[in-house]
Amino acid sequence: LLIRYNYQPVRRGQKLLELYSPELVTAEQEYIFLLENDADNQPLVSGARRKLLLLGLTEGQLRDLARTHRASYRVAVFSPYDGYVVETPAPNAPPAPAGGMGEVAASAGGMGAASGGMATPDATAVPVASSPSSRLTLTEGSYVATGQTLFQVMNTDQVWGIFQPTPPELARLRPGQRLRVVAEGTDLPPLTARLDLVEPEFRNGASTAAVRVYLPNAQGRLRRGQRLTGRLVPDAAPTLAGSFWLPRAAVVDLGTRQVAFVRRGATFVPVAVQVGQRTAAQVQVLHGLAGTEDVAANGQYLVDSEGFIQNASNSATTPPAHE
């Protein structure tokens, strides 16, 4: 075993481990026998060669076998990617087999995954659980079974950022919008990425759908399970003509209508408004304001009686004044 711990970096073509398998040795000897005694029987030779490929030999190892006519009792397994080793041990160790080829699952679709939280304005994320860097539980001399996944090699040249927005934030998100992504706890500069997918199904324990972005990671500094924060880039969330954004507390929701308090002389008066999208800290006002008014930042302080609510519900054009 030539790798020792989780998240150990490896290069494409690097030897990861060597296996002894009676089944594989037998398949090698059958191939050598055909080359030496029936080389013109192409269907049989091709079938024996194909069997060795399916058992995990590379083209280079097959060329060496055809050249030397010598079966190898220790077969090397190489990494097909640049990336990081991530162990995926079986729930129960397999029994010692009479013989069999141990196969290494050395791919992750070329993708790692970082985790994060959606932010439009300051929401943060719950990171995906991940195992810390530690020694592999696989040890030299262990038995492995055919089809058993020993570890994966995660290629992280490009990774996913997975964000969990709140329901109001999710309503604003569409594939193609741009996000400004910050990796917390690092000195990496902010990244700009396009929102690629709003997942069609909820994840376990989630109350909204997650969204996914692709992030470049050529230097490998974004790791699986890292905490991210994302914000919509302003031009990715265009504002409708004539609409404005106010602090969420500036608009009072009366159930059937919403009002904002506008300065009129020395007092503030309620004005009915029509709202659009909401975030955790802001609300979009579509109609009711010209954009030049002074609006109270927190309208709740000006709601002082049940009479105000009744009057504001009955008339939005001539509401009572409040100091």
> pLDDT for 265-286, tens place per residue?
888 888 999 887 777 778 888 8
17 - beta bridge partners?
77
Other C-beta atoms within 10 Å of 25: how many? 17
Give the model's confidence band at 109: pLDDT under 50 very low, under 70 low, under 90 confident, else very high. Answer: very low
Three-class SS state of 308: helix
Q: Is 194 part of a structural domain of the chain?
A: yes
Write down the residue that tokens 């929701």 correspond to: 253
Same domain? 142 vs 230: yes
Q: What is the CATH number of the domain that holds 214?
A: 2.40.30.170
Q: Which of 71, 105, 139 is the last residue of a domain?
A: 105
Domain assignment of residue 59, given as a range: 9-105
Which of 72, 86, 27, 80 minimizes the C-alpha distance to 51? 27
Same domain? 20 vs 94: yes
Same domain? 198 vs 94: no
Q: Is 303 part of a structural domain of the chain?
A: yes
Q: What backbone torsions phi and psi does residue 161 show, to the nearest 5 degrees?
A: -105, 120
Is the pLDDT at 90 greater than 60? The verdict is no
Same domain? 116 vs 101: no
Q: Is 72 part of a structural domain of the chain?
A: yes
Same domain? 119 vs 214: yes
∠ at Cα 59 (57, 63), nearest 5°?
A: 105
Average pLDDT over residues 148-159: 82
Three-class SS state of 154: strand
Average pLDDT over residues 71-90: 81
Are the C-beta atoms of 120 and 172 separated by less than 8 Å?
A: yes
Three-class SS state of 271: strand
Q: Which of 217, 236, 255 is the last residue of a domain?
A: 236
Of 44-53, 143-152, 307-316, least confident by mean pLDDT is 307-316
Give the model's confidence band at 47: pLDDT under 50 very low, under 70 low, under 90 confident, else very high. Answer: very high
Q: Is 230 part of a structural domain of the chain?
A: yes
How many structural domains does the chain have?
Answer: 3
Cα–Cα distance measured from residue 99 to residue 82, given in angstroms and rounded to the nearest whole number: 31
Average pLDDT over residues 111-119: 39
